């Protein structure tokens, strides 16, 4: 009898690893970043082969839910899942039950009923991925929540910088423009902080949020500050997020005259990045956007392999580093 009991203990399946999400750079470590970048590198090489599809995530289901318009992020998540042989489904808010007033909670529960392995969500409101993580059993990947976080963008930006400059540690990155409305900036400041780069924010006073220096960066309104940087990271002027009559800047014309990134404001050899979509002639001069030192197309390619790495990392039994089981617990 005793032997049988021991047998039963041994046969019990191992406790399932904690469900992992990728919601905020704040939740991960430098080791996680290094592992994800290394995985992305491997995938980059696999994409050089003639047959680009890997069987790795065969039978897995990845659902992309996009409540905001997107070209780069939604297409690269979908292709990333397909390249790894996962089944994919894409839901957009327009044309779905969201139009009929369905709440995010109910939409998430509905999609959760298909037992997806991963839900990738973009939403205009901060905290939407946390809600999805709470009401479904899926791993949740944040593809942008309001002005909060866009962690896979930060990851692809790090990947791009390392490809172009050979390192991240010790780099000086100037992030220019509308920091206030930018989830890209928030994730990138944290990711660069984790990997040992220095960050200077440059922009008009009302678009540099009060207290932002506490994230471990400098902030200045002086555009000349970009001259000292290795990488000039240009943010999009987010006209769609600006409140009517808020007067963040007197006019776009005045903004581009004062803070537009032009060839005259750059040193030769400085790398320029932009998360897209660009407002040519507003935050970035077209001559800069089309110059060989611009890494904008590299960023797009990096988006595919880093997103493959994120999906792979969450769904394979690799080291557990990305956590957020109890994100909604009150302090």
Binding marks (x or -) toward other proteins, 198..217, rule CB under 8 A? -----------xxxx-xx--
Q: Which of 122, 147, 148, 181 is catalytic?
A: 122
Q: Where are any strands of DSSP class E within 5-153?
A: 61-66, 87-92, 118-123, 139-145
Residue 296 three-state SS:
helix
Q: Distance (Å, rounded) from C-alpha 45 to C-alpha 48?
A: 5
Backbone angles phi, psi at 318, to 5 degrees: -65, 180
Q: Is 123 in the site for other proteins (CB under 8 A)?
A: yes
Kindly state the tokens that stand for 325. Answer: 């089981």
Note if 150 is an active site residue.
yes
Q: Is the CB of 79 or the CB of 212 nearer to other proteins?
A: 212
Q: Which residue's CB is nearer to other proteins, number 128 or number 295?
A: 128
- Contact between 307 and other proteins by CB under 8 A: the answer reads no
Please, what is the minimum distance in Å from the beta carbon of residue 152 to other proteins? 16
Tokens 């289901």 correspond to what residue? 61
122 is catalytic: yes
Residue of 48, 50, 169, 329 that binds other proteins (CB under 8 A): 329
Q: Any contact of residue 186 with other proteins (CB under 8 A)?
A: yes
What is residue 207's DSSP assignment? Answer: G
Which of 72, 82, 96, 127 contacts other proteins by CB under 8 A? 127
Q: What gap in Å lies between CA 215 and CA 328, rounded to an integer?
A: 22
Number of residues that bind other proteins (CB under 8 A): 30
In the complex, least distance from residue 182 CB atom to other proteins, rounded to whole angstroms? 8
Among positions 238-257, residues that touch other proteins (CB under 8 A) are 243, 246
Contact stretch for other proteins (CB under 8 A) within 14-22, 41-49, 121-129, 260-268? 121-129
- Residue 35 has φ and ψ, to the nearest 5°, of -65, -45
Instruction: Closer to other proteins by CB, 86 or 185: give it.
Output: 185
Q: Which of residues 1-60 bind other proteins (CB under 8 A)?
A: none
Quote the CA–CA distance of 255 and 110 in Å, as a whole number. 44
* Burial grade of 103 (CB within 10 A; 0-12, 13-18, 19 or more): exposed
Residue 98 binds to other proteins (criterion: CB under 8 A)? no
Candidates 71, 97, 125, 316; binder of other proteins (CB under 8 A) is 125
Q: Is 73 a catalytic residue?
A: yes
What letters, b where the CB count within 10 A reaches 16 and e where it falls short, cover 258-271? ebbbeeebbeeebb
- Active-site residue among 19, 72, 258, 301? 72
Assign 198 to helix, strand or coil: strand
Nearest to 229 by CA among 261, 182, 277, 184: 261
Q: Does 103 bind other proteins (CB under 8 A)?
A: yes
- Residues annotated as part of the active site: 72-73, 100, 122, 150
List interacting residues with other proteins (CB under 8 A). 103-105, 123, 125-128, 130-131, 145-149, 183, 186, 209-212, 214-215, 243, 246, 327-331
């Amino acid at each position: 009898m005793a032997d049988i009991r021991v047998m039963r203990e041994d046969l019990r399946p191992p406790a399932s690893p904690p469900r992992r999400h990728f919601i905020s750079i704040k939740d991960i470590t430098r080791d996680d970043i290094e592992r994800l970048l290394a995985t992305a590198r491997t995938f980059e090489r696999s994409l050089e082969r003639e047959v680009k599809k890997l069987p790795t995530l065969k039978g897995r289901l990845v659902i992309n839910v996009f409540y905001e318009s997107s070209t780069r992020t939604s297409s690269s998540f979908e292709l990333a899942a397909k390249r790894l042989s996962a089944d994919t489904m894409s839901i957009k808010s327009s044309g779905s039950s969201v139009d009929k007033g369905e709440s995010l909670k109910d939409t998430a529960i509905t999609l959760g009923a298909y037992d997806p392995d991963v839900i990738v969500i973009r939403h205009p409101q901060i905290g939407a991925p946390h809600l999805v993580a709470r009401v479904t059993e899926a791993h949740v990947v944040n593809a942008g929540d309001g002005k909060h976080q866009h962690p896979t963008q930060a990851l692809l930006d790090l990947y791009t910088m390392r490809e172009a400059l050979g390192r991240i540690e010790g780099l000086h990155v100037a992030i220019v423009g509308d920091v206030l409305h930018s989830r890209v900036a928030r994730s990138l400041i944290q990711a660069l902080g984790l990997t040992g780069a220095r960050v200077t924010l440059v922009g008009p006073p009302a678009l540099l949020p009060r207290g932002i220096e506490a994230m471990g960066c400098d902030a200045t309104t002086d555009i000349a500050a970009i001259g000292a940087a290795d990488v000039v990271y240009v943010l999009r002027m987010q006209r769609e997020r600006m409140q009517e009559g808020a007067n963040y800047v007197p006019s776009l014309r005045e903004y581009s005259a004062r803070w537009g990134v032009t060839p005259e404001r750059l040193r030769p050899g400085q790398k320029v990045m932009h998360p897209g979509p660009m407002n040519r002639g507003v935050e970035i001069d077209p001559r800069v956007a089309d110059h060989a030192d611009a890494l904008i197309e590299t960023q797009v390619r990096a988006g595919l392999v880093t997103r493959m790495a994120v999906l792979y990392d969450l769904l394979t039994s690799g080291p557990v580093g990305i956590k957020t089981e109890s994100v909604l617990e009150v302090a």
